């Protein structure tokens, strides 16, 4: 693998993580709920964007750019581990509805938006 490409993906991952933090804080400070809305929005939008890139595919987006954006930027932006930890912490507080809602909501919404992104990207690619 190309060292330059690895470094670009790593840099993009850092930018994605920074964007995740900023968006999560913006949303979390404006909502008054124990439910982790900020991370749900991050993972849902990240799933849509990765789906869109996947749907567009190499016909439109060069493979190296797909790697940097998909693995790097969106890999740093989205976070499954935070969903898992927040769900465990909610369950430990006996907030079982929050824990289950976080897990199921993240999974269902993220998969639905990934499918939508893939469909949109594929539709754009066909017309390209």
Among 126, 115, 119, 114, residue whose Cα is nearest residue 48: 114
**Given this model, what pLDDT does residue 98 score?**
97
Instruction: Give the pTM.
Output: 0.94
**Is 13 labelled a binding residue?**
no
d(CA 13, CA 103): 24
**Residue 127: is its pLDDT beyond 90?**
no
What's the pLDDT tens digit per position in 34-51? 899 999 999 999 999 999
Taking the domains of the chain in order of start, what are their residue ranges?
3-127
d(CA 52, CA 74): 12
**Is 75 labelled a binding residue?**
yes
């Amino acid at each position: 693998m190309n060292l330059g490409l690895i470094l670009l993906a790593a840099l993009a991952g850092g930018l994605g993580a920074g964007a995740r933090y900023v968006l999560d804080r913006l949303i979390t400070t404006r909502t008054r709920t124990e439910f982790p809305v900020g991370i749900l929005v991050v993972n849902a939008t990240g799933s849509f964007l990765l789906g869109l890139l996947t749907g567009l595919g190499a016909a439109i987006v060069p493979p190296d750019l797909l790697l940097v954006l998909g693995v790097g930027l969106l890999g740093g932006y989205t976070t499954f581990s935070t969903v898992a930890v927040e769900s465990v912490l909610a369950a430990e507080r006996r907030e079982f509805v929050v824990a289950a809602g976080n897990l199921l909501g993240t999974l269902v919404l993220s998969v639905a938006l990934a499918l939508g992104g893939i469909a949109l990207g594929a539709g754009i690619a066909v017309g390209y």
